[in-house]
Structure 1
Amino acid sequence: MKKILIIDDDARNIYALRLVLKARGFEVLTAVDAPAGLQVLRDEKDVHVVLMDMMMPEMDGYEALSIMRNDPALEAIPVIAVTAQAMVGDREKCLAAGANGYVSKPIDVDVLLELLGQQ
């Protein structure tokens, strides 16, 4: 079973994603901000993929991605960037920051599952 970590500051997004992913057989961990998410990654050694909200207070997804990509223990974990900022260039910005995939809100479950299948 693939273990997924959702890092998002909006409890409604976490709730909806968790329901969909659990129904598809994924084990789901959650964190309400980037520092907590990074701690979960350090504590849980078998997280298969991270769904990272890119726009969070305190520490955004870009900063968290930078920390992950510069930490030998976390650098290989795939990250799918999740953002409501579906503007021209956002996908490229997320991928350039180190994300392995990109999905915009509201999340198209089929697109997300396709991305997860590639991880």
Structure 2
Amino acid sequence: MPQKLILIIDDDSRNIFALKAVLKAKGFDCLSALSAQEGFSILEKHSNVAIVLMDMMMPDMDGYQAIATMKKSAKMQDIPVLAVTAQAMVGDKERCLSAGASGYVSKPINVDELLMQIENFTK
């Protein structure tokens, strides 16, 4: 079975480092991008990305705009996106899901919850 490839899009390299460490320890291969645009070019090159972990609060293009762009692209629209955000206020989860995210994980990340969601969306 081919390895599930996870793309992490986050403007904070410390978040990417921490997520990659956890996911690699669990046997996942990870790619990362520091911006949505960089993430899109990775998705263009790698057709085997199983899921995108998208930081919702980024400069230039935020996660909401990035998900909307992905949903309009024939190549990217079927890739599940997990919204990863420090915004954990009432309504934020719903806002992420209505923007097109498949799931939602708030920071600080609960690793078990993250892994469960990744498994759910990459079956």
Residue 63 of structure 1 deviates from its aligned partner by: 0.5
Determine what percentage of the aligned residue pairs are the same residue: 58
2:91 counterpart of 1:89: yes
Query: What are the ranges of 5 or more consecutive residues in structure 2 without an aligned counterpart?
Result: none
Normalising by structure 1, report the TM-score. 0.99
Does residue 29 of the first structure (1) align with residue 31 of the second (2)? yes
1:62 alignment partner in structure 2: 64
For 2:58 and 2:73, the matched residues in 1 are separated by 21
Matched with 2:12 is: 10
State the TM-score, normalizing by the size of structure 2: 0.96
2:72 maps to a residue whose letter is N
One-letter code aligned to 2:5: K
Q: Which residue of 1 aligns with 2:77?
A: 75
- How many residues align? The count is 119
The DSSP-based 3-state class of the residue aligned with 2:18 is helix
In angstroms, what is the RMSD of aligned CA positions?
0.5
Question: In 2, distance between residues paired with 1:57 and 1:7?
Answer: 12
Q: Which stretches in structure 1 are left out of the alignment for 5+ residues?
A: none
Question: Could you give the per-residue CA deviations for residues 28-53 of structure 1, whole angstroms, max 9, x where no partner exists?
Answer: 00000111001111111110000000
Letter of the 2:8 partner, please give it.
I
Moved beyond 4 Å, runs of 4+: none
